Amino acid sequence: MSAANLRARLRAEMTEEIKAVAKRHLATDGANLSLRAVARDLGMASSAVYRYFASRDELLTALIIDAYDAVGDAAERAAAGRETALEKWLAAGHAARDWAIANPHEWALIYGSPVPGYAAPRDTVDSATRIMLLLGAIIAEADRAGEIAERAPLTGRFAEELAAVAGAYLPHLTARVIADTIAAFFQICGAISFELFGQLNNTVEDDRRGFFEYQLRAAGRLAGLTG
């Protein structure tokens, strides 16, 4: 048993090592990750890497899951230490932005354009929805405390679809609040991506953190957070 475990442990360690080197390459060289270069850095033949990842896409998928989890972790930990819903909201948003600035290529991997023939496997969705659920939970908590502004209910077919999602993941939240929270999430991701991908150049150069916080507060108001 310990032998089998040893085998498995070595394999797991090697897998992690490949991922670590791949992340380093991602951070320096950009999005076109070269499996051969990773193998060279590890001092092994490129064909050996295929013992651990069936293809370059599979390695990328592993990195994508890690990235989703990392940004989700950062946001969750940042929000955990705060009292009010607004404080949690701001902390989570800043944590996501800080992580994105520290790991721009990984952010691009998950929130940029999907790589060519890449179809996100089911494995990724759990990790991907963590931030969405965190934001939803913050709003839901504020809602229970009566801190969410009253609004007219939604109309339209999409409202029914959203109500179904709400019932499954965030009961007690109305479709309207869900829709507005999604809108807020879009805005936050947009703010981070545009800043990261340089589309903000020549507009706001110095006080980008302040600008982001303003956007973050606007997003919070959009989601119903008062204050």
Binding site for DNA (CB under 7 A): 1-4, 6-7, 10-11, 14, 33-37, 43-48, 50-52, 54-57
CB of 109 to DNA, least distance (A): 14
Output the six-digit token pair for 87: 């404080």
Closest to a copy of itself by CB, 61 vs 215, is 215
Closest to a copy of itself by CB, 35 vs 128, is 128
Give the one residue of 115, 133, 137, 163 binding a copy of itself; rule: CB under 8 A: 115
Closest to a copy of itself by CB, 53 vs 185, is 185
Output the six-digit token pair for 1: 């048993």
Distance CA 223, CA 5 (A): 48
186 binds a copy of itself (CB under 8 A): yes
CA proximity to 100, closest of 191, 183, 21, 181: 191
3-state SS, 155-210, equals: CCHHHHHHHHHHHHHCCCCCHHHHHHHHHHHHHHHHHHHHHHCCCCCCCCCCCHHH
Among positions 136-155, residues that touch a copy of itself (CB under 8 A) are: 154
Give the one residue of 59, 140, 162, 173 binding a copy of itself; rule: CB under 8 A: 162
* Whole-angstrom Cα Rg for the chain: 20
CB of 171 to a copy of itself, least distance (A): 16
Q: Which residues of 81-99 are buried (b: 16+ CB within 10 A; e: fewer)?
A: eeeebbebbbbbbbbbbbb
Query: How many residues form the binding site for a copy of itself (CB under 8 A)?
Result: 53
* Contacting positions for a copy of itself (CB under 8 A): 29-32, 108-109, 111-118, 120, 125, 128, 154, 156-158, 161-162, 165, 179-180, 182-183, 185-187, 189-191, 193-194, 197-199, 202-208, 210-211, 214-215, 218-219, 222
